[in-house]
């Protein structure tokens, strides 16, 4: 009897620990405006949802889960679910990603002074000679004796080396999604009637539908054949993506 009671109590405790709850929240930008169409992923369950037009989201999870938030044009952010997030909304603020500005080369124009302009556009022969000597020096190979170990210094033995465990992938699904969106371009998805805010959601839908990408994530490289495979997968699943939710 005591054993049965202990088993029941343990079972109830296990259910409470592993019970799923729902996390509600709102996503805003740096200027506190709502951000719609943000992808929210529970890393543990791989459940994905999109924020509505007011920036609100709801995803199942429990304390300790990691939620990932990302949208094109914003920095990706991860948040750990706390006990408070199970009873009150989780407010998340996204920061806009920095955009690189193309480098502009500023060329010095003529000053009108022949003495100054001749030095600018026709460097002295001594300067040209010095540059040539530096280039020749840099091309020379170092003498092996320079890199040789001194007496008493430790020398790394040569051999097959040793294993450091499993090598991590260079990419994750988000990196692959960003690359595919860039490589295929907005027009490709526009032709498929996929609106721009939903491009990453659509790509994720294709990837999670059985698209083989193990080597792509491992090496961080997409070949032309991989790109064609993805486009074929799109043709196979585009109808099911556009179908009503009850038919999926």
For 68-108, what is each residue's pLDDT tens digit?
999 988 999 999 999 999 889 999 999 998 765 555 555 55
C-alpha distance from residue 32 to each of 55, 89, 141, 221 (Å): 11, 16, 58, 37
Contact 8, 49 (CB under 8 A): no
Strands 39-42 and 21-28: unpaired
Residue with tokens 């054993």: 3
Cβ atoms within 10 Å of 60's Cβ, excluding its own: 13
Which residues of the chain carry a pLDDT beneath 70? 1-20, 99-124, 140-167, 244-248
Helix (H) or strand (E) holding 67: strand 66-70
Question: Domain extents for the chain?
Answer: 16-93, 173-247
Task: Provide the terminal-to-terminal Cα distance of the chain, rounded to the nearest Å.
Answer: 48
Which CATH class, in words, describes the domain spanning 16-93?
Answer: mainly beta
Distance of CA 189 to the CA centre of its chain: 20
C-alpha distance from residue 225 to each of 112, 132, 200, 230 (Å): 58, 46, 21, 9
For 172-182, what is each residue's pLDDT tens digit?
999 999 999 99
Question: Tell me, what's the pLDDT at 203?
Answer: 93
Residue with tokens 């026709």: 122
């Amino acid at each position: 009897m005591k054993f049965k009671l202990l088993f029941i109590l343990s079972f109830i405790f296990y259910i409470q620990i592993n019970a799923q709850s729902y996390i509600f929240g709102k996503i805003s930008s740096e200027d506190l405006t709502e951000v719609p169409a943000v992808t929210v992923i529970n890393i543990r369950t791989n459940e994905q949802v999109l924020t509505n037009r007011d920036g609100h989201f709801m995803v199942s999870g429990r304390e300790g889960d990691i939620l990932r938030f990302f949208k094109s044009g914003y920095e990706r952010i991860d948040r750990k679910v706390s006990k408070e997030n199970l009873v009150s909304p989780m407010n998340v603020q996204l920061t806009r990603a920095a955009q690189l500005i193309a480098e502009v080369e500023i060329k010095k124009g003529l000053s009108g002074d022949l003495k100054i302009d001749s030095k600018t556009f026709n460097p002295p022969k001594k300067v040209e000679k010095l540059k040539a000597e530096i280039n020749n020096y840099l091309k020379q190979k170092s003498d092996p004796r320079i890199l040789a170990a001194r007496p008493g210094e430790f020398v790394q033995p040569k051999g097959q080396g040793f294993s450091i465990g499993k090598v991590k992938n260079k990419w994750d699904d988000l990196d692959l999604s960003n690359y595919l969106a860039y490589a295929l371009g907005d027009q490709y998805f526009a032709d498929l009637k996929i609106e721009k805010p939903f491009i990453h959601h659509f790509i994720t839908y294709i990837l999670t539908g059985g698209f083989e990408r193990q080597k792509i994530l491992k090496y961080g490289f997409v070949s032309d054949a991989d790109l064609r495979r993805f486009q074929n997968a799109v043709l196979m699943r585009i109808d099911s993506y556009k179908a009503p939710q009850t038919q999926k």
